[in-house]
Structure 1
Amino acid sequence: MFSTKPLHSFHLSSVANNVAEINSIDDLSCLKELTDSGEYIVIGEGSNTIFVENYMGTIVLNKLVGIELEETKDHFYVSVSSGNNWNDFVVWCLSNKIYGLENLALIPGTVGACPIQNIGAYGVEVKKFIDNVEYYDLESGQICTLDNELCEFGYRDSIFKHDLKFNTFITKVNFKFPKTWQPQVDYAPLNKLTNPSANEIYDKVCEVRALKLPDPKTIGNAGSFFKNPIVSNKKADELIYQYEDLPNYHFNSTSKKLAAGWLIEKAGLKGFSLGNVAVHDKQALVLTNHTGNADGKELIELASYVMKTVHDKFGVSLEPEVRFIGKHGEVKFSELNQNIYG
């Protein structure tokens, strides 16, 4: 058995049956053997994955790295292997004067995870810059390519969470960046910057995240634990009338996006602890393994309490953003109470 504690950033105490690495495309044939012989799950840096129980299968670690650049008169085309660290790639772009991803600074995880989650921050989603995604089809043993539109990107969502969830291994993400760049500074605190450069935006995002978000090497966490909820315009207007300082953003013609961290804080839960887990005292959107000794049962109990408290106060349902792994693979949060408490 292998400890999962160093393999995911929440550092819960749990074990897995086996661990394997994918270091090259050739290793993917071994991955197919794993799928034929038993349970497995693919992770990069484990920043959005939480092992809430002992896992009975094989953890497959994505170690594919490399970056290739081509350019035309109007665009940069960058092909990035899926095991590259995301923030390292953002820094690489800035050093090569390729702009657009600076708002997504310091988001933990690998490049291969970015299309699955359609990562986003400060008014920018990665789908804007993804040209296509290459993946290994476990059924056919072939490398396939999926264009942006076919990825079915949504808010923290994509086809890789649905139809392609169980039979793909993302190998590369191919990006397309226009050489004409406009800063995206609609969201606070970036909206206080005056005619900023991409590097200045990156530095500001890093400054804010460093102040609010705990370093998982010091305090176990998975970054933003909950999605920002989407509610109807009517519901949003009712809450804004009652709470004038409620951060809210246009989502589409019928709905708005609310700030989950604000809701949790206003529900009186900022800094709230339950055994070995806690709501972070600087950013209520983050749950932490604040003693380093937490287990899955404690985390699920805290998350459930936060969700119930927010719903009771505001009538808004929160949904976890993170990925939960149980005994036999990924499990929905709604099933966890039954799985863990019996």
Structure 2
Amino acid sequence: MALSLQAFHTFSLPSQCSELFEITDIAQLQSVAFSTPFCILGEGSNTVFLNDYQGTVIKMATGGVAVTEREYDYLLAVAAGENWHQLVTNTLAQGIFGLENLALIPGTVGAAPVQNIGAYGVELAKYVEYVEYFDIATKQIKRLNKQQCQFGYRDSIFKHSLKNKAVITTVALALPKQWQPELSYGPLQQLEQVTPQTVFEQVIKTRNSKLPDPYVLANAGSFFKNPIITNQQLNELLKHFPPLPHYFYDDDHHKVAAGWLIEQAGLKGYRIAGIEVHQQQALVLVNHGGSEGSDLIKMIQHIQQQIWQRYQIRLQHEVRLMNNDAECHIALGDLA
């Protein structure tokens, strides 16, 4: 029997799947067949089903947070199905600080390491002590430390060698008792009183001013990655586009703001069917309805082409796109 997936992903394209399992206890994973194809899903805030999915969707809905106080930090062992923003809110209320820059990021805790979520100068990897996962082949729970997770910018081992081989069950975060604010990004630099609570509130205010609520206007959050370019590329771009926002990445590279690139290319408000580049934040694509996966693909390709022609930068989408049997990537062809 076909089941509608429209309510299970926040971009809300009409799509169906043949089977859906909701996991509330990790012991249930033992009885899942994991016949190909299958898709692991949290709250669906970073996944878009482009069309009907010919397989099984496994929705992680486990709960629980165990807090261990240690000499210099608190260790939080968090179940994969916990809501990320709720975790940030609850830790702050308990006097455990460090996650405030990551407030209001939609999705579940289990999805966070896959993407190595990040915002306002902080990445999840900064605090990860270990990640536990269900090994699909052996049906055993295994553990990786931070280094073994191979975190990168919006990247981890779970996107590569462990893709379709692991189901994240627990994420353990070590939050130091000695709080150090991270204020390097825009609006946070203006704070007069710097406390975990004021940082938290400013992040929420900033996100709410830019990012539409996916439960009011369908979207999948930031759609494109901020491109990482060489210092030489940056210097050339700055000659032509002096206001280009850029951030140090490593000695040889800088990150540039994808939303700025899209906005300056005149794409705010650009629309294909019901899919639009958001009027307030060009990094977000919204779905007004009456659209299909093919419309979204056309939109992605159009934006990528415009950014390439204007800046010679290849934009990559951050959001996971699922076609009828697997994840797919929309990449710019060689236009050089």
- Aligned: 1:316 with 2:324: no
- 1:195 positional shift: 4.3
Which residue number in structure 2 is paired with residue 51 of structure 1? 49
Please identify runs of 4+ aligned residues in structure 1 that moved more than 6 A: none
Farther-moved stretch of structure 1 (236-245 vs 178-187): 236-245
Q: Which residue of structure 1 lines up, in the alignment, with residue 67 of structure 2?
A: 69
Instruction: Say whether residues 1:267 and 2:265 are aligned partners.
Output: yes
Which runs of 5 or more structure 2 residues have no equivalent in the other structure? Answer: none
Alignment of 1:287-326 (within 5 A): 287-289=285-287, 291-326=288-323
Which residue in the other structure is 2:77 paired with? 79
Q: Look up the equivalent residue of 1:68 and give its one-letter code.
A: A
User: CA 1:335–1:296 in structure 2 vs 1: closer, same or farther (change >3 Å)?
Assistant: farther
Write the mapping of 1:194-273 to structure 2, written as runs, cut at 5 A: 194-273=192-271
Residues paired across the two proteins, number = 332
For the aligned residue pairs, the C-alpha RMSD in angstroms reads: 1.2
Structure-2 residue corresponding to 1:182: 180
User: Would the alpha carbon gap of residues 150 and 179 (structure 1) be closer, same or farther in structure 2, given more than 3 Å must change?
Assistant: same
The CA distance in 2 between the partners of 1:122 and 1:13, in whole Å, is: 33
TM-score (norm 2): 0.97
Structure 1 Cα separation of the partners of residues 44 and 203 of structure 2: 22
Which whole-Å CA distance do the structure 2 matches of 1:39 and 1:184 have between them?
41
Return the TM-score normalized by structure 1.
0.95
CA contact (8 A) 1:41 1:60 kept: yes
Query: Which SS does the other structure have where 2:96 is aligned?
Result: coil
Specify the SS of the correspondent of 1:100: coil
More helix by share: 1
Contact 1:219 1:292 in 2 (8 A): no
Query: How far apart are the structure 2 equivalents of 1:321 and 1:122?
Result: 17
Distance in 2, matches of 1:41 and 1:170, equals: 13
Shift of residue 59 of structure 1?
0.8
Structure 1 segment 88-103 matched on structure 2, within 5 A: 88-103=86-101
2:7 corresponding residue in structure 1: 6
> For residues 275 and 329 of structure 2, what CA distance do their matches in structure 1 show?
20
Q: Deviations over 1:278-303 (max 9, x none)?
A: 000000000110x2222100011011
How much does 1:335 deviate? 10
What are the Cα deviations for residues 111-156 of structure 1, in whole angstroms up to 9, with x where unaligned?
A: 0011100000000001000000000101111100000000000000
What is the DSSP-based 3-state SS (H/G/I as helix, E as strand, rest coil) of the residue aligned with 2:186?
Answer: coil
Provide the identity percentage.
42
Alignment of 1:163-182 (within 5 A): 163-182=161-180
* Residue number in structure 2 paired with 1:18: 19
